[in-house]
Amino acid sequence: MENLPNEKRNSFFSRKVIGGIIAAVALILIVTIPTFFIEKITPGYVGVVYSPNGGIQKNTLSQGWNFVGLFDKVTEYPIRLRTVEYKDAALATSDGKRIEMDLSYSYKIDPTKVVSMFNEFGPISIEEIEDTYLKKRLQDAARIAVSKYTVLQLYGEKSSNAAADIETIFKDDVKVLGFFVENLTLGTPKPDAKTQEAIDARVQAAQEYDRKKIELETARIEAEKKKVEAKADADSQLIRAQGQAKANKVIQQSLTKDLIEYKKAEKWDGKLPTVSGSDSNIIQFPLDPNNNKETTK
């Protein structure tokens, strides 16, 4: 090659460079051209294929890699559960209170209805559908359901009822288009400052009422307890008195003249009385040994 003239040498290198460029371009085309005909569908989704010229294809694309036409476009729809959250939805209660509540729900799409869904919404993403159509339908369902409850009920035992009502209305409304809704939850109400003050006052009054009820019930139980104890004590005394009376009666019936004489004799110490006389009213005193002589006189 060193012996070749410069002109031929340059021609050789030019052909080599051109050949390399052509090979590189061919490789690039081999790699990139198939990408125009392949579409990857996200797991848990199906794809609706449409083109400006041919319209919408009836057959949808399943998850994974799929072949499509050069000018075909694909819109994906979820057939697995997606969870959506909306913050601070403005609502009104049955007692005229303005509140804000957070809402969340899960949903998936009927794969047999994605083509009709595309016809309804056009080539927009599922996120856009969530932020427009689904959000509006949920807000309408929440307004209808929440308007049946007072703000205090939404704070308390009726919160789960309100959530169930919203889910029922919302689910029935959107299932026609193929949305399957479940697991709707309702956040705690967020009233304005004035409404919050009124709620706090009513809650405090309810707590005070409950406290007094408990105190009255406690007093009633205590009085009932004392009544039972007093009755038990009276019954016990009556039983003791009846027993004592019965015992006395038995003792009285058992006392005979001989028994009395026997008891007297049993207690006698063998000493004679110091004073004797015929008068039964004379009181006898023991004899003092120191005054024995004076007594004798």
User: Can you give the CATH number for the domain in which 166 is found?
Assistant: 3.30.479.30
- Please give the pLDDT value at position 180: 95
pTM: 0.56
Q: How many domains does the chain have?
A: 2
Q: 79 burial class (0-12, 13-18, 19+ CB within 10 angstroms)?
A: buried
Angle between helices 159-174 and 135-146 (to 10 degrees): 140
Per the structure, the complete domain to which residue 29 belongs is given by: 6-77
The domain boundary residue, chosen from 77, 95, 116: 77
Q: Are residues 86 and 130 in the same domain?
A: yes
pLDDT tens column, 143-165 = 999 999 998 888 888 899 999 99
* Higher-confidence position of 78 and 294: 78
Residue 167 maps to a domain: yes
CA 36 to CA 70: how far, in whole Å?
6
* Mean per-residue pLDDT, 4-31: 57
What is the SS3 assignment for 88? Answer: strand
Q: CA-to-CA distance for 40 and 74, rounded, in angstroms? A: 10
How would residue 102 be classed by pLDDT, with cut points 50, 70 and 90?
very high
pLDDT in tens, 202-226: 677 777 777 788 878 888 888 888 7
DSSP string, 8-53: HHHHHHHHHHHHHHHHHHHHHHHHHGGGGTEEEEPTTEEEEEEETT
